[in-house]
Structure 1
Amino acid sequence: MIKKIATKHYWISLLCFLVPAGLCISIYMNFKADLPQHLSDQIQLTGSLAAQDFKRTVRNNVQAIHNLAERIQETDGEYYDFWKQDAKRLLRQNESLTFVELISEEGIVKDIYPRVKNQSAIGLDITKLDYRYSDWKTKSKKGITNITQWLQLSQGGNSFLIDVPVYFDDTFDGTVTGGMNFNAEFDRLSYYLEDFAIKIEDEEGTAFYSFNNFDAAQNDPQYIFDTSMVMDSDIEESWHFQLTFADPTIFADKLKVANLALGFGLLLSLCIGLLQFFNSNSRIATKEALETNKKLQLVNTALEQQTENAKLASVAKSEFLSNMSHEIRTPLHAIVGITDLIDSGNTNFEEEHYLELLKKSSKTLLNLINDILRLDRIESGFVDVAHIEFSPASVLESIVSFHNQIIEHKGLDLSLKVNSSKSKTALGDRAKFEQIITNILSNAIKFTNSGSILVIYDEKEVNEQIDLKITIKDTGIGIPKEKISQIFERFIQLDTGTRKKHSGGGLGLAIAQHLTQLLNGNIEVTSEEGKGSEFIINLKFDCLQAPTEKREEHFKRALPELNILAVDDNKLNVVILSQLLKKIGLCTDIAYNGTEAVEKAKAKNYDLIFMDIHMPDIDGFEATRQIKSTQKNTIVMGLSADTTLNSINEGMSCGMSTYLTKPIDKNKLIAVIEDYFGSTSRNVV
């Protein structure tokens, strides 16, 4: 017979409902009170950043006109003979720039580029245009750049006119004027602001740009960012910039989500109360069952031992899951927390500090996953042992040097002692050798809080093999005697549970042990708790008896004869590249622009083309497309000082096999050519 549930259990269940329900209501009220300020802060931050981006775009385009005017002034007018070529380049590089014209000191449009589209503007006398001539004359005489209001042009269309005065020996010689329409570039900037509406007006109040139908957006002044865009201290005009939420019902929508969350929270609170009630009922039933089970203890004696074994397995499993949960959740918590902080719109946090924490947390999580995958791959047998030339002593010195910064940060002493007068060259798996040393040295650093770490390198040659003995001795926390036999098992750590002091997944030593066994070596360990540990790594590699050929000499001997074309509009860059290639035994043809490169590629089958990006006539991207359309087997390598992600992506999409950045040194040049044309390479077009 089930016992009656006591009254106190009803009260406890009611309390389990009221506490979380009250918490949900409190959070809801705070959210509702803070929502207006949160939305206002979001608008102010987004508007400020967007206004800066728009302002920077305008400045960049205006600066292009400035640069042309400065080149004319610096050459005392001789550059007038070349201004059209420069104007053509400016129009290609600056999307908002629609034309460039020269206006004389008398206010007559002398010439314009492009001429065909703007023929009707040539000879225009702006002195007859009251809305134009006054500002042009006044500001040009002062040497000030002038930006007009949004104008309807004589040759059709609308544009802003940017007047940059030209002076020779303090004498005004007219202006270089550019026609600009920023709508396309502004649309690209606005692409990531799909939840917002934007309107920009010129100094006369004429709206020349609108995004997401600003007039139909929400109109509460509290959620409108309003500022004047002053272009530069040298430019007196300013534009009126406004940004707001595109959704006119954004406040109500967010409040609706909060209402749904509140409803869900109250429902969850009710579920908690009911669960507590049913749990009380269940405990009563369980108690009665336990009383009944006592009578069966004699029968279950044989099963208890099996139950105990299952408990031990469960403890081991729980300990592993707890450790992995901690190691994975710790960096994930930092990543999610910092992301929420950035997304909150708070402008007072230390952005560089949090971004560095975000980067470190991401690397910690990645390293843990890499260790798990690496160990799984080793244990699955999918590991090959390489045989390449390397100097174990030099590799060890590099690893020790790499860890100096961490050592200095912890205030430890790290020393390396090499017991070999002349380090020998070995044939073996350098990567696995590096991984073994790195894992054990990192382990020593992690568990040493004070004192020193000593690395000793011994080598001797026996029967054309190099016997290596690398000792890593630290003054760290040491290893209890009962755990020395377990430290090379995966997921085993000295400290576990909620009070563990050292991070990690317990995989480093396990990986080092597996790799050492793959290389037919072993690791010896001696340690005393509280005084430190000593790891001795014993390995053998084949000894390289004869000196190897230098990489460059091998490269010259092994590389086939290649037809190479270097394309760059800068003659100095072409000379440097051709000389580098000449030093490694390769001859080069030269092209100074994209058109010439395409013509030479049609006339001759080239194995390799080094292609500059920014060139007159046609750029490197278009030249590559035309060449690859007919010469599919030609390897085209982009070579440019432009390292932006957009340029790199466009280079790869237009057919370039790789994208190199200037300046490039000889070793890097040898490496990249060897990758594509070496004896073991497979060309991929």
Structure 2
Amino acid sequence: MTTPKPSLRSYWLAGVFFLIPALICLTLYSYFKKQLPERLTNQIQLSGSLAAQDFKRTVEKNVQSLRDIAQRIEETEGLYFDYWKDDAQRLLIQNESLEFVEFINNNGIIEEVVPLNENKAVKGLDIKNLDWRYEDWRNMGNAHKINISQWTSLTQGGFSFLIDVPVFYNGEFQGTITGGMDFNDEFNRLSSYLGDYSIKIEDEQGTRFYDFNNYDLAQKDPEYIFETNLVLDADQNESWSFNLTFANPDVVADSSRVANYALICGIFLSLAIGLLKFLHSKSRRATRIALEANQNLMILNREFQQQTEIAQNAVEAKASFLSNMSHEIRTPLNAIVGIADLMETDPEKAEDPRYKALLRENSRKLLGLINDLLRMDKLESGSSGIYSVEFSPVSVIANVTSFNRKAIEEKGLKFIVDVQTKAKNYVNGDRSKFEQIIGNILLNAIKFTQSGNITLTYSEHEQGEQLYVAISIKDTGIGIPKDKIDTIFDRFTQLDSGIRKKHSGGGLGLAISGKLVQLLGGNIEVMSEEGTGSEFIIHLAFNGLHKKEEIHLSSKLLADLPPLDVLIVDDNKLNIIILSELLKRLGLHSDSAKNGLEAVQKCQTKTYDLIFMDVHMPEMDGFEATRKIKEDHPDVVVLGLSADTTSLSISEGLESGMDNYLTKPIDKTKLLAILREKFQKPPSRTAI
């Protein structure tokens, strides 16, 4: 077969497919060139704004750490002076920008400095002798405002910013907690994400104390320079000048060059698209007929295979079902005939209770199979109607569970019933079908569960005059293979079939339940894992909701918090005192440990219900202590407690096994909510 000759239309379409992409490329190129200055300006403004906020937050975080120490001193009215140096040591470890912490009394004399060895030169220094220092320090302190100095040459050597946090108690200015800070390392870490930019920061005197990516060699066009002032304290005259620009001095020319290359590539790509369209048009007419014929053939073949598979599956399922049903009917029938023969040949055995019991049992089995067959036939023929009567779904659940409890317990299974409602609601609906659905699925769970437990959970919610109910029946039986979950409600399909079948029954229970649920306008969800168990969840809705009655509980609600054994783990004695007093107000008494190692040892000799765990401690930190305690006592509730509020610390705490993470100072409302969530007991209900 020869290839059709290209028509004039093919050439015309090829030209259109070339011109349209080419015009798009030219339009985009023109737009890009026009928008380039604005885009670069917006880019530098956005990047600069975000970077300035990050730098300012870094400074504020370090200032806040000093504020926390001052706040503790104020809250304790000076008692915390015995402990503030311990906190200062921790801050020096946690905040790499912090070089030293000192206390300057209200006379301007440096009383204490941490660490001491590197800063002995300033201990006892009277800053009144420093004209540039004392006046700002005194004025800002009396105004109860934080003071940040300029980039300063220190008496003990080196350069730093001095940050003064005033301390007030007893109505008087007591001095300042002062920190020396060099932000160079933290700023470098923030700048590592800004490799395309240069940054400089100068203090209020114009002294440059930070430079990233050699700012003096960066591009100089003012249009592409972001400038702002970082206001760091209440004095608006004290601020840092922040400048950010592109590190590449030729950024505009380079961006234009990339646009030129993109335009050239776009023209070549447009030409390639036009050629491909031309070749496609040539081959399209030659392949169209073959593709259509092949597609039709594939559709017919697929339909034939589907119908063949359906027919084969139906034949196999019916054959298996008839074989199984023949066996299930013959088994009780043979027993009935055999017992009747024995009773006829030996009249004394006619009065034997065992033979009578066997006759009744096998007769019931036979009657049950016949009833299932008749129900299934009636459902599939559409002749099964819905009969509406007034009934209480909760009462039906009570009846079904009571009726089956003995059979479950005789198999050595645990039967758990959880009715999650306090009201006894009445509805109008088909009580018989509702009861049959629950009974069939419960019997299925009993049949296929040899050990473990069966759990029935009932819940309901009201909406207008309708009552929506959900019933979950969960077992620890043999489970259902994933490839058979979709077929368990089919009439001729059984999970356990063939001559090696281990479980008796006709296999119609689930099929009948599925049909009845559809008839009542509901649905069934099935979740199962082979070898682990299955869960059937039935959703139904009933009309005519009325007559609500409270279900009486067997016991009253317990107190909000039961008696608890509590352990506080903190290397700070004052923190332990404050927390223990707070717990006493909640009616809880506590033990204490000064580090993680001591906490682990205490947990080996006493079982605690609740542990408050500090994070940063000597000998063993809170994360490691939590892991060790949780290994031996997985049920103990461990609440992390730290001034470190970073997401990394919180994440590490939760990963170590902490049940929650509280920050210092403690939010009393949040603490009480957590304690109620973990330890308040729900009201008990009378088991059905």
Q: Provide the TM-score with structure 1 as the length reference.
A: 0.55
Picking from 665, 669, 680, the partner of 2:678 is: 669
Picking from 521, 544, 548, the partner of 1:535 is: 521
Alignment of 1:514-529 (within 5 A): 521-522=514-515, 525=518
Shift of 1:138: 5.3
Following the alignment from structure 2 to structure 1, what is the Cα–Cα distance between the partners of residues 143 and 537?
Answer: 81
Shift of 1:37: 1.2
Counterpart position of 1:639: 639
Alignment of 1:398-413 (within 5 A): none
- Change in Cα spacing, 1:250 to 1:236, as seen in structure 2 (3 Å) is same
Shift of 1:151: 1.6
Query: Does structure 2 conserve the Cα–Cα contact (< 8 Å) formed by 1:638 and 1:651?
Result: no
Query: Does structure 2 conserve the Cα–Cα contact (< 8 Å) formed by 1:105 and 1:172?
Result: yes
Query: Does structure 1 conserve the Cα–Cα contact (< 8 Å) formed by 2:48 and 2:226?
Result: yes
Which residue identity is paired with 1:182?
A: F
Alignment of 1:343-382 (within 5 A): none
Picking from 630, 652, 655, the partner of 1:650 is: 652
Counterpart position of 1:413: none
Shift of 1:48: 1.4
Shift of 1:240: 0.8
Query: Are positions 1:390 and 2:412 aligned together?
Result: no
244-253 vs 154-163, which moves further: 244-253
Alignment of 1:586-665 (within 5 A): 590-593=591-594, 595=595, 597-602=596-601, 605=604, 612-614=612-614, 617-618=617-618, 622-625=621-624, 633=632, 635=634, 638-640=638-640, 645-652=647-654, 655-656=656-657, 659=660, 662-663=671-672, 665=674
Following the alignment from structure 2 to structure 1, what is the Cα–Cα distance between the partners of residues 270 and 674?
Answer: 67
Identical aligned residues as a percent: 37
Counterpart position of 1:29: 30
Which residue identity is paired with 1:99?
A: F
- Change in Cα spacing, 1:630 to 1:650, as seen in structure 2 (3 Å) is closer
Q: Secondary structure at the match of 1:391?
A: strand
- Change in Cα spacing, 1:638 to 1:666, as seen in structure 2 (3 Å) is closer
Following the alignment from structure 2 to structure 1, what is the Cα–Cα distance between the partners of residues 199 and 162?
Answer: 22
- Change in Cα spacing, 1:637 to 1:391, as seen in structure 2 (3 Å) is closer
Which residue identity is paired with 2:52?
A: A
Query: Does structure 1 conserve the Cα–Cα contact (< 8 Å) formed by 2:202 and 2:210?
Result: yes
Q: Secondary structure at the match of 1:605?
A: helix
Following the alignment from structure 1 to structure 2, what is the Cα–Cα distance between the partners of residues 63 and 540?
Answer: 54
Q: Secondary structure at the match of 1:156?
A: coil
Q: Secondary structure at the match of 2:60?
A: helix
Counterpart position of 1:58: 59
Shift of 1:224: 1.9
Shift of 1:75: 6.7
Shift of 1:44: 1.0
Following the alignment from structure 2 to structure 1, what is the Cα–Cα distance between the partners of residues 418 and 36?
Answer: 63
Following the alignment from structure 2 to structure 1, what is the Cα–Cα distance between the partners of residues 585 and 455?
Answer: 34
Following the alignment from structure 2 to structure 1, what is the Cα–Cα distance between the partners of residues 212 and 618?
Answer: 33
- Change in Cα spacing, 1:76 to 1:591, as seen in structure 2 (3 Å) is closer
Following the alignment from structure 2 to structure 1, what is the Cα–Cα distance between the partners of residues 170 and 295?
Answer: 105
Q: Secondary structure at the match of 2:118?
A: coil
Which residue identity is paired with 2:205?
A: E
Following the alignment from structure 2 to structure 1, what is the Cα–Cα distance between the partners of residues 146 and 616?
Answer: 28
Following the alignment from structure 2 to structure 1, what is the Cα–Cα distance between the partners of residues 91 and 262?
Answer: 55
- Change in Cα spacing, 1:81 to 1:668, as seen in structure 2 (3 Å) is closer
- 1:641-677 CA-to-partner distances (Å, cap 9, x unmatched) read 6776322322256x446556644656753699xxxxx
Shift of 1:241: 0.8
Counterpart position of 1:10: 11
Counterpart position of 1:309: 300
Query: Are positions 1:126 and 2:127 aligned together?
Result: yes
- Change in Cα spacing, 1:183 to 1:581, as seen in structure 2 (3 Å) is farther
Shift of 1:85: 4.5
Query: Does structure 2 conserve the Cα–Cα contact (< 8 Å) formed by 1:102 and 1:110?
Result: yes
Shift of 1:260: 4.3
Following the alignment from structure 1 to structure 2, what is the Cα–Cα distance between the partners of residues 633 and 170?
Answer: 51
- Change in Cα spacing, 1:257 to 1:169, as seen in structure 2 (3 Å) is same
Counterpart position of 1:270: 271
Following the alignment from structure 2 to structure 1, what is the Cα–Cα distance between the partners of residues 470 and 167?
Answer: 75
Query: Does structure 1 conserve the Cα–Cα contact (< 8 Å) formed by 2:615 and 2:641?
Result: no
- Change in Cα spacing, 1:548 to 1:54, as seen in structure 2 (3 Å) is same
Counterpart position of 2:158: 157
Alignment of 1:199-598 (within 5 A): 199-234=200-235, 236-283=237-284, 285=286, 306=297, 309=300, 389-391=417-419, 455-456=466-467, 521-522=514-515, 525=518, 535-537=521-523, 565-567=567-569, 569-571=575-577, 573=579, 590-593=591-594, 595=595, 597-598=596-597
Following the alignment from structure 2 to structure 1, what is the Cα–Cα distance between the partners of residues 470 and 626?
Answer: 55
- Change in Cα spacing, 1:578 to 1:148, as seen in structure 2 (3 Å) is closer
For structure 2, the 5+ residue unaligned runs are 306-413, 446-453, 475-485, 488-508, 525-535, 539-551, 559-563, 663-670, 682-688
Query: Does structure 1 conserve the Cα–Cα contact (< 8 Å) formed by 2:640 and 2:658?
Result: no
Which residue identity is paired with 1:274?
A: L
- Change in Cα spacing, 1:604 to 1:144, as seen in structure 2 (3 Å) is closer
- Change in Cα spacing, 1:59 to 1:670, as seen in structure 2 (3 Å) is closer
Following the alignment from structure 2 to structure 1, what is the Cα–Cα distance between the partners of residues 264 and 163?
Answer: 58
Following the alignment from structure 2 to structure 1, what is the Cα–Cα distance between the partners of residues 203 and 264?
Answer: 48
Query: Does structure 2 conserve the Cα–Cα contact (< 8 Å) formed by 1:109 and 1:124?
Result: yes
Query: Does structure 1 conserve the Cα–Cα contact (< 8 Å) formed by 2:599 and 2:625?
Result: no
- Change in Cα spacing, 1:118 to 1:6, as seen in structure 2 (3 Å) is same
- Change in Cα spacing, 1:609 to 1:49, as seen in structure 2 (3 Å) is farther
Shift of 1:277: 1.8
Counterpart position of 2:198: 197
Query: Does structure 1 conserve the Cα–Cα contact (< 8 Å) formed by 2:228 and 2:241?
Result: yes
Following the alignment from structure 2 to structure 1, what is the Cα–Cα distance between the partners of residues 470 and 211?
Answer: 74
Shift of 1:617: 4.9
Counterpart position of 1:351: none
Shift of 1:41: 0.9
- Change in Cα spacing, 1:630 to 1:164, as seen in structure 2 (3 Å) is closer
- Change in Cα spacing, 1:18 to 1:614, as seen in structure 2 (3 Å) is same
Following the alignment from structure 2 to structure 1, what is the Cα–Cα distance between the partners of residues 456 and 246?
Answer: 54
- Change in Cα spacing, 1:216 to 1:6, as seen in structure 2 (3 Å) is same
Following the alignment from structure 2 to structure 1, what is the Cα–Cα distance between the partners of residues 199 and 555?
Answer: 62
Aligned residues: 480
Shift of 1:227: 0.5
Shift of 1:69: 4.5
Which residue identity is paired with 1:204?
A: Q
- Change in Cα spacing, 1:551 to 1:200, as seen in structure 2 (3 Å) is farther
638-647 vs 570-579, which moves further: 570-579
Counterpart position of 1:484: none
- Change in Cα spacing, 1:209 to 1:305, as seen in structure 2 (3 Å) is closer
For structure 1, the 5+ residue unaligned runs are 295-299, 315-385, 398-415, 442-451, 466-487, 490-515, 527-533, 542-546, 554-561, 583-587, 673-685
197-206 vs 60-69, which moves further: 60-69
Query: Does structure 2 conserve the Cα–Cα contact (< 8 Å) formed by 1:103 and 1:109?
Result: yes
- 1:37-65 CA-to-partner distances (Å, cap 9, x unmatched) read 11211221222122123223323433444
Following the alignment from structure 1 to structure 2, what is the Cα–Cα distance between the partners of residues 7 and 242?
Answer: 63
Query: Does structure 1 conserve the Cα–Cα contact (< 8 Å) formed by 2:600 and 2:625?
Result: no
Counterpart position of 1:358: none
Q: CA RMSD in A?
A: 5.6
Following the alignment from structure 1 to structure 2, what is the Cα–Cα distance between the partners of residues 391 and 16?
Answer: 69
